[in-house]
Amino acid sequence: MLFNPHNKLNINLTEAITMMRIFLFLATNVAIMVVISIIFNLLGLGGVLDAQGIDLNLNALLLMSAIIGMTGSVISLAMSKWSAKQAMGVQVIEQAQNQTERWLVDIVAKQARLAGIGMPEVGIFDTPEANAFATGMNRNSALVAVSTGLLHNMNADEVEAVIGHEITHVANGDMVTMALMQGVVNTFVYFFATIIGHVVDRVILQNERGHGMGYYITQMAAQIVLGFLASMLVMWFSRYREFRADAGGAKLAGREKMIGALRALQRGQDAQDLPGQLAAFGINGGGMSHLFMSHPPLEERIAALQSSR
């Protein structure tokens, strides 16, 4: 049986409760944005931007940017459950096979009722790290998945609090809200990247007709750079929603249980530093790295719960 309520957390944790939900959404969104941008260029739909000759038609550009930006965000949201299952190897519990799975499904069902949402799919993914995530386009048709590491290394109260945290993400519509925000960010990234590409092509490279290779290369490079900078805003929003999810988890499972879960994560994190590529997202980061964290530092989250009444 995976779950022992007396086990203690004894392995390194890579994030505070979950970075997977955010990472999968953003990665899918970026890929879709690039594909849509390429398709638009191949089909010549960007020709509308040349209607005024050297000058850009900014109204047409803004409209096209909104179509590209929002389409990428909506498609990535619609694919979020499927992509999460595939990327994480989630095994959905169709029928509980053991006591652990029955307990897990019962806890999710109980908290979903309390939160006023439809019963999510419940799944388990195999990784030694304690983690969990919730995703889905509809709050009444979501997915809540936990890792084997979470079940192995947290006690019953702590797991219950983690599930409450994820159920709150669903109940608050965080994925939909983030998709809308990401769509707006995408719109302006594409808008300004296109202007930069146009200026480089016409002014610096002095290409007087159509768009040359310099435009496409510069526009793609600008999308990457501006997208990277814009992600700071998305990560700020994610950190804000984490405080709300902690509060919701405390309401569903109990404040002390939620604090206990965060302290368990904190003990595991203290055991070993994050590997290189995860350092920028580390829960104890500071300076510039703090701007790209999807979750606030654990001590801040614990302090917020302790000060709430």
Per-residue pLDDT at 9: 34
24: pLDDT strictly greater than 80: no
pLDDT confidence bin for 1, thresholds 50/70/90: very low
The maximal CA–CA distance of the chain, rounded, in angstroms, is: 72
Lowest-confidence segment of 3-7, 103-107, 131-135 by average pLDDT:
3-7
How far is residue 237's CA from residue 262's CA, in Å, rounded to a whole number? 20
pLDDT confidence bin for 230, thresholds 50/70/90: confident
Q: What share of the chain in percent tops pLDDT 90?
A: 28
Mean pLDDT, rounded, for 119-126: 94
Q: Which residue has the higher pLDDT, 149 or 18?
A: 149
Please report, for the chain, the start and end positions of each structural domain, with discontinuous segments joined by +: 20-307
Per-residue pLDDT at 63: 80
161: pLDDT strictly greater than 90: yes
Lowest-confidence segment of 23-37, 66-80, 136-150, 183-197 by average pLDDT:
23-37
How many whole angstroms from its chain centre is CA 91? 20
Mean pLDDT, rounded, for 113-117: 95
Per-residue pLDDT at 291: 62
Mean pLDDT, rounded, for 210-214: 74
DSSP string, 75-119: HHHHTHHHHHHHHHT-EE-SS--SHHHHHHHHHHHHHHHHHT-PP
Q: Please say if 94 is a catalytic residue.
A: no
The model carries a pTM of 0.72
Per-residue pLDDT at 279: 31
Contact between residue 69 and residue 185 where contact means Cβ atoms under 8 Å apart:
yes
Closest CA to 183 of 71, 264, 50: 71
Closest CA to 28 of 68, 76, 70, 73: 76
176: pLDDT strictly greater than 70: yes
How far is residue 133's CA from residue 21's CA, in Å, rounded to a whole number? 6
Contact between residue 152 and residue 7 where contact means Cβ atoms under 8 Å apart:
yes
Q: How does pLDDT run across 184-198, given as a tens digit for each residue?
A: 888 889 888 988 988
215: pLDDT strictly greater than 50: yes
Active-site position among 15, 101, 166, 242:
166
Per-residue pLDDT at 188: 86
Closest CA to 240 of 172, 187, 289, 287: 172
